[in-house]
Structure 1
Amino acid sequence: MTIASEKEAPASTLSGKLGAGSIVFMVVAAAAPLTVIAGAVPLGIGAGNGAAFPAMFVLCAVVLGFFAVGFCAMSPHVPDAGAFFTYIRHGLGRPLGLGAAFLALATYAAVQAAVYGYVGAAIDELVTGFGGPSLPWWVWTGILMALVGILGYRHIELSSRVLGVLLVAEIAIVVVLDVVVTARGGAQGLSTAFLSPTQITSGAVGIAVMFAIASFIGFEATAVFRDEARDPQRTIPRATYLALAIVGVFYAVSTWAVVSAWGDDAAVAEAGANPGTFLLTTVQNWLGPLAGHVVSVLLVTSIFAAILSFHNVAARYWYALGNHGGMPAGLARTHARHGSPHAASLAQTALSFVIIAVCVVAGLDPVAQVFAWAAGTATLGVLVLLVLTCLAVIVFFARSGVDRRVWHTRIAPALGFLGLAVCLVLTIVNFPTLIGGSVALALGIGGLLVVVTAVGIVLALVRGERAPIGPGAEEGLTAQPPAAAPSV
C-alpha cells in the first residue's frame, strides 16, 4: 500500500461511534466553563446588572432552549455535517447557505484566534509565576497550535477522550467552590438578587445579556458531529439538550455561588475593580492558596480544551464545504485509518497560523486586542447564524410539511428567533464595549463579516446549477416522513 493510499480513504465519509456523552464533552468543552466563570462572569457582574447576573444565564438558556427544539426537530431531515451551513441551505436556499458557511468559518476562525491569543499570555503568566522563563506569548501559542493540529488530524474519539478529562477537571474545582460557599452560607448569607425583578433589570441589562449569551458559544455544534455519531437521529438531540442544560445550570449556579462568596455589594465592587483576578481571589479566600494554583493551571487547560473543540468544529465546516462544492473537493478527503477530515483539519490549522502570524507581525496585544477583538467578532457572527438558523427551521417546515408538530416546528422556533434577535440587537448596540475598542473598529469588524458572507452568496449565485451547494437539496426536503422526527 502506498503512502498516499494510507492517508486517504477512497470515499469522503467521516467515521465514528460517538455517543451523546462524547459529543457533550466536546461541545461543553468549547464553552470553556471555567474560563467563562473567570472571564465573562466578572464583566457581567461589574459592568452588567450586578449581583443579579446569574439570572441572565437562566434567561439565555431558555431562549436557546426554544432554538434547540426546532434545531433538533430538523436534524433528521438534514443528513449532512455542517450544522448552520446545512440548516440554512435547506431552509433558506443555496446562496444564503454558502454565505452562512463562509460566515461560520470566519466566526470559528475568530474564536480560535481569540483563545490562541489569550492562552499564550496565560501560559507565560503561569510559567513565570512558578519561577520559569518568560517567553513571547506566541511561542506558547505555537506549541499548542501544533498539539491541536495533531489531535485534530487523528480520529475524533481521541479528541473526545482528551476533552473529557480536561472538562471534568475544570468543572470539578468550581463545583467544590460552589459546595463550600453554599455549605458555609456565603459571606453575608446566600444571595437572592437573581430572584428580584428590580435587580435583574437594574444596571446595564444589555451588556449583561451580551456577556451571558456569548458564554454559550459552541453549544449548537452537536449537529456538526452527526456523521460521527453512533445514532444521529437520537444522539444529536440528546447531546444538544444535555449540553445546554449542563452549561446553563453550571453557569447560573456557579455565578450565584461566587456572588454569595463576597456578598452582593462586595461582589460588584470586586468584579468591577479586579475582573481579571476575581475568580482566583475567590478561590484562594474560600479554598486556600493551593486551590488557587490549581485554578491557574486549569484555566490554561480549559482554554486548550476550547481551542481543540472549536478546531474540530471548524474542520468539519471545511469538510462539508469540500463535499458540496463550496471549497476544493480535496478538503473532503478522509483519513483511511483515523476516519478523520485530516485535509480539512490541516486547512484550519494553516488558517489559524496565518491569523496569529499577522497579529504577531502587527504587534497586537494578545489579550487587550487579539482576544477582545476576535471574541467580539465571534459573538456577533454566532448570533447572526443562530438567528438565520431559527428562520431556516421555520421556513423549512412550513414549505416541506415533513413534520406537523406545531410546538416543534413553529412556536418554539419563533420564540427562539425573537429572543435571539433581541440578543443580536443588544450585541450590535453594545459591540464597541464588547471588543474594547472604538466605534470605527466595531464598524470595520461588522463590515468584514458582511463581506465574508457576501462572498459566499456571490459564489453560489455565480456557480448556480453548474456546482450545486448540496446534492439533492431540494429533492431531499420530503425524503423523511413525519414519524422520523425525534419525539423530544
Structure 2
Amino acid sequence: MTQLESKGAATSAKRTLRGSLGVTAIVFMVVAAASPLTVVGGAGPLGILIGNGVGYPALYAVSAVILLLFAVGLSAMTRHVPRPGAFFTYIGYGLGRPSGLAAAWTAILTYTTIQVAVYGYVGYLLEITVVSLGGPDIPWWLYALATVALVGVLGYRHIDLSSKVLGVLLIAEVAIVLVLVGAVVLDGGPEGLSLAPFEPANIASGSPGVGLMFAIAAFIGFEATAIFRDEARDPDRTIPRATYGAVIGIGVFYTLSTWGLVMAWGPSGVLAAAAENPATLMLRTVAIYLGAVGEVIVNVLLLTSMFACVLSFHNVLTRYQHTMSSAGVLPESVSGVHARHLSPHVSSIVQTATAGVLLAAFALLGLDPLLQVFTWLSGVATVAIVVLMAVTSVAVIVYFTRNRQDRRPWNTVIAPALGFVGLAVSAVVIVAYFPVMVGDVDADGAPTFGVVTWALLALVIIVPAFGYLQAAWIRRRRPAAYAKLTDAIAG
C-alpha cells in the first residue's frame, strides 16, 4: 500500500509507491503491454507482408533466445540494486549517472512512441469497424484521443484496478488465439501442416531486418517487471520470476500463433492474403475457421487487446516519470502520489497530455494511422529498446566486475555478453532495413536512407544526448539536485 515516509519531524514527507503485486499480476501487466492479439492480428501480418514472409514466425523464437540471455543479467541486477527504474537505474549503477539519465530519456522515447503507435492502430481499427457496421465515418484520430482519455482515467486510479482489467482481457485474447490455432491444426490448412516458417531459406527471405524489428517490438515491455519493484511482494524473488516468465511466455505464444496464421493460408498463399489488407488478415482467418461468431469475438477482443496494451504502457511510463521526478530530473510535482487512489496521478496526467498532443500533431500532418503512425513509431521504439538493452548488458558486466557482489560467471558475464552480441547484431540488421519499413526505397526496391529514415533514426541519438547534457547542466548549476540524482540512480 502506498504510504508517506517521513524522515524526522522537520523533513517533508517523501511519497513512494508500495504494493503487494505477485508474479502473476506483474506478468499480466507486462505481457498485456506486449498485447498478444494486437501482435498476432496487427503486427504479425505486417511482419509477414513487409518483413520476411513465411519465415516471420521463426523470428519470435530468435528474439526470445536473445532476450532470455539479456534477462539473465537483468535479473541479477534486480537482486543487488534494490531500486525501481530498470534501464534508468541499472545503466546508472554500471556506467555512471550521466549514462543512466541518457537511458532514462531513451526509455521515455521508447515507451512513448510504441504507446502512440498503438493509439494510431486502435483509432484506425475503430474507424473501419464502425463504418463496416453502418455507422458514421469518424476520423481515426478522434477515436484515438477518446482512448487516450479512457486510459488516462484508469491510469489515474490505483494500479490494482489496472492489473485486474489487464488480467481479464489478457486471458480472453490468449484463449481465442489458441482456439484459432487449434482449429487450423484440426483442419490442416489448405496446404497441410509443415515447418516451412522455420526453414533457413524462408527465414532469410524478403526483408528479415523489418521482420526482426516487428518481432522484437512484440516483446517491448517485458523488462518493465523491474519498474514495479516497489509495488511487488518479495521483489527479490518475484521480479526475476516474472521476467523469465514473461519472455518465455511471449516467445512461445507468438511463435505458435503466427505459425498457425501461416498454416491457415498456406506458405504459398499467406503473403497474398496479407497484401490484400494486413489490418483485416486476422479477422478473415477467424471468419474461415471459427465462423461469423468467432469473427465478431476476435474483432471485439482485438480492440480490447490494443486498449490493454496502451493501458499497460501508460502504467510503465507513469512509473518511469515518477522515478525520474524523485531523482530531481523532472519537476518534483510529477512524483506526487494520490492520497486516496495511491497512484502516481500527476505523472499519469502528464503522460495522458503527452499522448494527446502527439496524436493531434500527427492528425494535423495527415499521417496514415497504420502505415505511418503505427509502423514508423514502432520502428523508432524498437531501435531505441534494442540499443537500451545492449547498453544495459554492458552495464551489468561492468557493475559486477567492479564490485564482485555476485561471482556467478553465467549470470554476470557470459549471458550478458552473449545477449549484447545478439542485441548489437539485431540493431545493425534492423537499421539496415529501416528504410524499407519507412518506404524509402529506390526504383528497384532497394533501401535508401532518405529524409524520413534519417529523421526517425535521429531521435534515438538526440534524446539520449539530451540526457547527457541535462546531467552536465544539473551537476554544474544545481549541485543539490545532482546529489539527489546520485542517490536515486547509483545509491
Normalised by the length of structure 1, the TM-score is 0.92
- 2:297 corresponds to: 294
CA shift, 1:472, in A, is 6.9
Distance 1:174 1:141, change over 3 A: same
Q: Which moved more, 1:179-188 or 1:72-81?
A: 179-188
Aligned 8 A contact 1:375 1:435 in 2: no
Aligned 8 A contact 1:213 1:423 in 2: no
Q: Which moved more, 1:303-312 or 1:129-138?
A: 129-138
- 2:394 corresponds to: 391
- 1:452 corresponds to: 463
Task: Tell me which of 216, 220, 231 is aligned to 1:213.
Answer: 216
Deviating 4+ runs (over 4 angstroms): none
Distance 1:132 1:93, change over 3 A: same
Cα deviations by residue, 1:458-484 (Å, 9 ceiling, x for unpaired): 11122225423231755x4xxxxxxxx
Aligned 8 A contact 1:72 1:236 in 2: yes
Cα deviations by residue, 1:47-67 (Å, 9 ceiling, x for unpaired): 333323222111110000000
- 2:426 corresponds to: 423
Distance 1:256 1:353, change over 3 A: same
Cα RMSD over matched residues? 1.8
CA shift, 1:363, in A, is 2.9
1:440 equivalent in alignment to 2:451: yes
Q: Which moved more, 1:188-197 or 1:284-293?
A: 188-197
Aligned 8 A contact 2:32 2:312 in 1: yes
Q: Which moved more, 1:38-47 or 1:245-254?
A: 38-47
Following the alignment from structure 1 to structure 2, what is the Cα–Cα distance between the partners of residues 260 and 137? 32
Read off the aligned partner of 1:442 and give its amino acid letter: T
- 1:470 corresponds to: 486
Aligned 8 A contact 1:191 1:256 in 2: no
Which structure 2 residues correspond to residues 317-466 of structure 1 after superposition, within 5 A?
A: 317-436=320-439, 439-464=450-475, 465-466=479-480
Cα deviations by residue, 1:13-67 (Å, 9 ceiling, x for unpaired): 1021111111111111111111111122223333333323222111110000000
**Identity value in percent:** 52
1:149 equivalent in alignment to 2:152: yes
Following the alignment from structure 1 to structure 2, what is the Cα–Cα distance between the partners of residues 409 and 390? 9
Secondary structure of the residue aligned to 1:186 is coil
Aligned 8 A contact 1:193 1:200 in 2: no
Following the alignment from structure 1 to structure 2, what is the Cα–Cα distance between the partners of residues 254 and 13? 40
- 1:307 corresponds to: 310
Following the alignment from structure 2 to structure 1, what is the Cα–Cα distance between the partners of residues 219 and 187? 30
Cα deviations by residue, 1:194-239 (Å, 9 ceiling, x for unpaired): 3433433344333322221122111111111111111111111111
- 2:167 corresponds to: 164
Cα deviations by residue, 1:270-316 (Å, 9 ceiling, x for unpaired): 23443232222111111112211222221111111110000011111
- 2:7 corresponds to: none
Following the alignment from structure 1 to structure 2, what is the Cα–Cα distance between the partners of residues 473 and 360? 37
- 2:5 corresponds to: none
Following the alignment from structure 2 to structure 1, what is the Cα–Cα distance between the partners of residues 488 and 461? 28
Secondary structure of the residue aligned to 2:42 is helix
Distance 1:138 1:267, change over 3 A: closer
CA shift, 1:68, in A, is 0.5
Read off the aligned partner of 1:62 and give its amino acid letter: V
- 2:228 corresponds to: 225
CA shift, 1:393, in A, is 0.9
Read off the aligned partner of 2:386 and give its amino acid letter: L
Aligned 8 A contact 1:45 1:53 in 2: yes
Task: Tell me which of 75, 80, 97 is aligned to 1:77.
Answer: 80
Cα deviations by residue, 1:44-101 (Å, 9 ceiling, x for unpaired): 3333333232221111100000000110011022222211111111111100111111
Read off the aligned partner of 1:277 and give its amino acid letter: T
Aligned length: 467
Is there any run of 5+ residues in structure 1 with no aligned partner, and where? 1-8, 477-488
Which structure 2 residues correspond to residues 178-197 of structure 1 after superposition, within 5 A?
A: 178-197=181-200
Following the alignment from structure 1 to structure 2, what is the Cα–Cα distance between the partners of residues 183 and 95? 56
Secondary structure of the residue aligned to 1:12 is strand
- 1:43 corresponds to: 46
Secondary structure of the residue aligned to 2:93 is helix
Normalised by the length of structure 2, the TM-score is 0.91
Read off the aligned partner of 1:186 and give its amino acid letter: G
Secondary structure of the residue aligned to 1:265 is coil
CA shift, 1:161, in A, is 0.4
